[in-house]
Structure formats: C-alpha cells, structure tokens
C-alpha cells in the first residue's frame, strides 16, 4: 500500500534494491534485485587463498555493485546463521572458523547481512520469484558437485531442528555396500547421482578401459572426465548409460519417498548437473509412477539459470523465511 504516493512498510522493503551473493568453489556470482526483478548481475573468480581473500572479494563486489539496503550470501557447507559464520566450506580451503564472516561484511559495507545455505537460498528464490512461485508445497534439489536440497510447506521453507533440514543428497540409497560419502556415511544419494560421483565413476571406467567412447571424449585422460561427459556419452557407451540409469533410479527412489511423505505440488531441480536432467527423467518418472500410487504426481520443473543461487540469496536478504535468524547488522 502507499500513502501520498510513497511506498511504505513491506512495499518499501520489496522495491529497494538488495544484493545477493552466491559463494561457489569456482566463482562468486552476484545479482541486485528490486521488486523481485534482477537489475544487475556479474561474477568474479573465487579466491583460492583462504577466507580473508574471499571476504575481500565479497566486499569488493558490494562496493562496485549498485547500492543495496541489505545483503544475502549463499554458501555451501556447515553454517552458523545466528552468528553469521561459515564453519566449513568444502570447496574452498582455509580456516573458516576464524572469520566472523557476516559481521565483517556488514561492517565493511554498512548493510545488514543474512547468511544461508546455498540449496536453501536457491529454494527460497524459486519459491518467491521462480518456477515454484505460488506453490504451497515443494521439494528442491540442486544437482552439482554434490546434491543439496530443501523442502517447502504452506509456502514457507521447512528448515527443521537446528535449521539443517533438507539434506536430500544424504538420503541412504545403498547403505550396505555403497560408496563412502563425504558426510561420513555410506551409500548416500549424492555418491550415486552427484556430479563428483558421476565423474569419479566415469574416470574409473576410463582407467579400466571399459568405456572407449568416454575415453575418446576426454582424450584418454581420466582426470578430464566430468559428469557432463558421462551424460553426453550415455547414448554411445553402454557403461556410461549404466551410470546414468543408476543415477536416475537413485533420484527416483529418493523422490518417491519424499513425494509419499510430503505430497508436494512441484519438484524443482537446479545446479550445474540439472542440465542433464532429460537423461535421468525416464528413470525418475518410472520410479515415481511405480511407488507413489496414493499421491498425485507432482510436476517437475528445472531452474537452470546460472544466477539462481544469487537470486535466492537476494530474496533471502529482502525477506528471510519465517523463523530464520535476524541478519547481522553493522556494529553487531
């Protein structure tokens, strides 16, 4: 609502620009948003020399980007959003616990800073402004190096106890004889369908001489195998096709359990590996059809915009999910 032609309260908050930062292992992507619309965006390489240099890069982005009233930062790893700290970043080396990340970014920029898990931020952006806008209940998966996840019910993210819920990538699929997972468990979904897993399994095939088409694709170098290469070669190499089918069935089995439990309206895929979703879909669809007989089949959507994580971080800065800790403000 407005008074005298001026936006007030929630309206004013929604139209003033916010900055979203998506901290990845390779690049830091950023967007400014106003009224749910991206007004500027860009990216810079992620420094590989530790948290202090990463923080300096984030401050530099904030100072060069259009002025914003608040900042949201999305990051993978173990986070403490109450104190605004990154406790562990799996893809960037360094002692993260020594850096009061949000407080220092807030002090350097003069803006309040909200810190969020990257998969949860992606989900929040899609729920507010993306392919899940208007949905009440949804499941989100980010297919990248690993597999992130988030859940929404009644139009809000459901973060769970300790705000750590939604770890869909760590649903056990092969708990007895599966591969070891980085989380410390065995046979998690991401050890089968995550980007790192597909690349490692494909590399093993090349080393064993079992996938000639894949070997030709990467010039015979197993270290050059990527998840994308495995998916591309699935129609030429039976062993690659086996890996893709195995990944698709694992995703389908995990999603069938979630659909039966949560009855979502939509399942949203994002992340770099989501571009290969068409290769997984036949197996996902088969498992969903077989194992969700009592539940209406949800629609499946993809959000492959490379800046979806940064958009989610901006949405978080604009309006954090219900029950989430307040942002860290300058001087806190």
HEC-encoded secondary structure of 171-216: CECCCCCCCECCCCCECECHHHHCHHHHHHHHHHHHHCCCCHHHHH
- pLDDT at site 23: 93
- pLDDT at site 14: 62
CA atoms within 13 A on the CB side of 96: 20
Main-chain phi, psi angles of 211, to 5 degrees: -135, 75
Which residues have C-beta within 8 Å of that of residue 197, sequence separation ≥ 6?
179, 190, 191, 247
Distance CA 173, CA 188 (A): 6
Domain with CATH 3.30.420.40 in the chain: 2-122+308-318, 134-303
Residue 7 has pLDDT above 60, yes or no: no
Q: What distances in angstroms separate CA 273 from CA 24, 46, 98, 102, 276, one per listed residue?
A: 15, 20, 32, 29, 6
Residue 163 has pLDDT above 90, yes or no: no
Residues 261-297 have pLDDT tens digits of 999 999 999 988 888 899 999 999 999 999 999 999 9
DSSP string for residues in 88-144: E-TTS-S-GGG--HHHHHHHHHSS-EEEEEHHHHHHHHHHHHSTTTT-SSEEEEEES
b/e 170-209 (16+ beta carbons within 10 angstroms → b): bbebeeeebeebeeeeebbbbbbbbbbbbbbbbbebbeee
- pLDDT at site 88: 81
Confidence of residue 248 (pLDDT cuts 50, 70, 90): very high
DSSP, res 328: B
Query: Which strands sit side by side in the sheet containing 138-143, from one edge to the other?
Result: 156-157, 147-153, 138-143, 266-270, 299-303
Across-strand partners of 147? 143
b/e 21-49 (16+ beta carbons within 10 angstroms → b): bbbbeeebbbbbbbebebeebebeebbee
Token pair in block for residue 196: 């790192």
**Cβ pair 123, 152 in contact under 8 A:** yes
Query: What CATH number is given for 2-122+308-318 in this structure?
Result: 3.30.420.40
Superfamily per CATH, domain 134-303: ATPase, nucleotide binding domain (3.30.420.40)
Distance CA 46, CA 31 (A): 16
Least confident window among 3-12, 113-122, 174-183:
3-12
Q: Which residue has the higher pLDDT, 289 or 324?
A: 289
Average pLDDT score over residue span 29-47: 94
Residues 111-159 have pLDDT tens digits of 999 999 999 999 999 999 999 999 999 999 999 888 999 999 999 999 8
Main-chain phi, psi angles of 192, to 5 degrees: -115, -45
Distance CA 3, CA 242 (A): 62
- Report the share of the chain in percent with pLDDT over 90: 75
Least confident window among 3-12, 80-89, 96-105, 220-229:
3-12
Distance CA 313, CA 319 (A): 10
- Report the share of the chain in percent with pLDDT over 70: 96
Question: Mean pLDDT score of the chain, rounded to an integer?
Answer: 91
């Amino acid at each position: 609502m407005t008074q005298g032609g001026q936006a007030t309260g929630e309206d004013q908050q929604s139209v003033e620009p916010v900055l979203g930062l998506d901290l990845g292992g390779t690049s830091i992507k950023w967007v400014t948003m106003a009224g749910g619309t991206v007004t500027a965006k860009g990216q810079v390489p992620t420094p590989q020399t530790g948290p202090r240099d990463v923080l300096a890069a984030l401050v530099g982005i904030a100072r060069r980007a259009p002025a914003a009233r608040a900042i949201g930062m999305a990051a993978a790893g173990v986070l403490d959003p109450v104190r605004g700290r990154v406790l562990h970043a799996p893809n960037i080396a360094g002692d993260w616990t020594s850096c009061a990340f949000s407080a220092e970014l807030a002090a350097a920029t003069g803006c309040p800073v909200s810190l969020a898990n990257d998969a949860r931020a992606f989900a929040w952006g899609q729920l507010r402004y993306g392919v899940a806008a208007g949905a009440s209940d949804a499941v989100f998966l980010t297919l990248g190096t690993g597999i992130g996840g988030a859940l929404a019910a009644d139009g809000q993210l459901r973060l769970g106890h300790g705000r750590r819920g939604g770890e869909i990538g760590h649903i056990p699929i092969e708990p007895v004889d599966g591969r070891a997972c980085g989380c410390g468990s065995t046979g998690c979904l991401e050890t089968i369908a995550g980007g790192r897993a597909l690349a490692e399994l494909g590399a093993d095939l090349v080393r064993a001489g079992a996938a000639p088409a894949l070997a030709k694709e990467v010039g015979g170098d197993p270290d050059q195998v990527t998840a994308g290469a495995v998916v591309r070669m699935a129609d030429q190499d039976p062993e690659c096709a086996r890996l893709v089918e195995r990944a698709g069935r694992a995703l389908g089995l995990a999603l069938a359990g979630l659909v039966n439990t949560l009855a979502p309206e939509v399942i949203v895929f994002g992340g770099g590996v989501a571009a290969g979703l068409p290769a997984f879909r036949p197996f996902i669809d088969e498992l969903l059809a077989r194992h969700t007989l009592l539940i209406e089949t949800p629609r499946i959507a993809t959000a492959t915009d490379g800046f979806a994580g940064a958009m989610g971080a901006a949405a978080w800065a604009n309006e954090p999910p219900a029950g989430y800790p307040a942002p860290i403000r300058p001087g806190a």
